[in-house]
Structures are given as structure tokens and as C-alpha cells.
Amino acid sequence: MKMSLKFVSACLISSCLVVSCDFIKDIFPNSKSELIFKASVSKSTNLSDTILFTGGNIKSFNGTTGEILFVDSMTIPKIRKYHWIKCYLGTDSLFKATVTVPTMSSIVNDLVLDLNLADGHFYFKDGYPSYLDNPSNNIVRAQNKEKRAIAWTRFVNQLKKEGKYVEK
């Protein structure tokens, strides 16, 4: 009798904890971000890639400039070690971006996460170098931007939901 009473009590307490966790998640939706950024040495999508940072590490994202600020300054040197980052919303792959630095000599006509040496911040851009004004490159960049438009909208909406999206 005592054993079954302990078992029932344990089950009730466990149920209350599960319900209260969901309740806390509803009250504080920003407490855990669903955005995950994985580092990669390969272009292919691989769910086992190393988690580089999450949405919780993002302080803000400026939709006008593409600037992404981090809560922890140590995130920037971690990003610089990789050539690609892949963004996931939960387990859904949204997009990948090439990590670029000003000393890079190649042209990228797709999404990049570009390090600006003047301020030490990263910026999402539609290509590298951003000052390149070549009609054929601009067409390819616009096409690639259009291909990721739905995924980008999901990314922005998640940042808005987490209160990390700004426009200036």
C-alpha cells in the first residue's frame, strides 16, 4: 500500500512539473531560442555539425543594416574559425552563409556573414564583396536572395518573436 501511494505521488509530482515547465515556457517564450547556428567545414547540410551559437547568444539583429550583435564577445572569434554557418529553426534547415573577412580574395554571390574590421561586428549581406557592382553578379545575388526569401522571413519572424529584431 505504501509503495503504491509513493508511486502515485511520484507520478502526480512529475505531471505537475511537466505542466509547469510548459506554463513557464508560455510566460517566458524568449527563455530558450529555437534558432541554432552550426559551424561547418562542408557546404552540405549535416545535423551533426557543431553548434556554434544559438538565438540566445544574439543580442540584436538590425534588419536594415544586417548587423548581428552578440551577447558574448567570444562568439565572434568562434565564428571566424569556420567557413560556413548553417541556420536552423529547430531541426528545419533555413539557410547557410559563407563567413567572410576583409582579407578574402574570392567573390561570393550568395548570403555571407561578413566581418567588418572597422567595428568588429558581423553583418549578413547578399554577397561579398558588397561594393561589387557588376550586372551579372547582381543578377545572381538577387536570384539567390529570392530562393531563400521564405527561410529568411522565418528567421526574421523568429527574431521578432524573441524581441531581438530592430530596424534603424
Q: What is the pTM of this model?
A: 0.76
Average pLDDT of span 149-157: 98
Per-residue pLDDT at 147 exceeds 80: yes
For residue range 11-48, list pLDDT tens digits in order.
445 544 444 344 333 333 334 889 999 987 766 656 56
**CA of 65: how far to CAs of 6, 14, 107, 156, 166, in Å?**
59, 47, 20, 13, 10
Banded pLDDT at 1 (limits 50, 70, 90): low
Question: Within 10 A of 157 (CB to CB), how many other CB atoms are there?
Answer: 12
CA distance 94 to 78: 21
Q: Which of the pair, 10 or 158, is modelled with greater confidence?
A: 158
Q: Which of the pair, 148 or 30, is modelled with greater confidence?
A: 148
DSSP annotation of 29 = G
SS3 52: strand
Banded pLDDT at 50 (limits 50, 70, 90): confident
For residue range 51-97, list pLDDT tens digits in order.
999 999 999 999 999 999 999 989 999 999 899 999 999 999 999 99
CA distance 95 to 147: 10
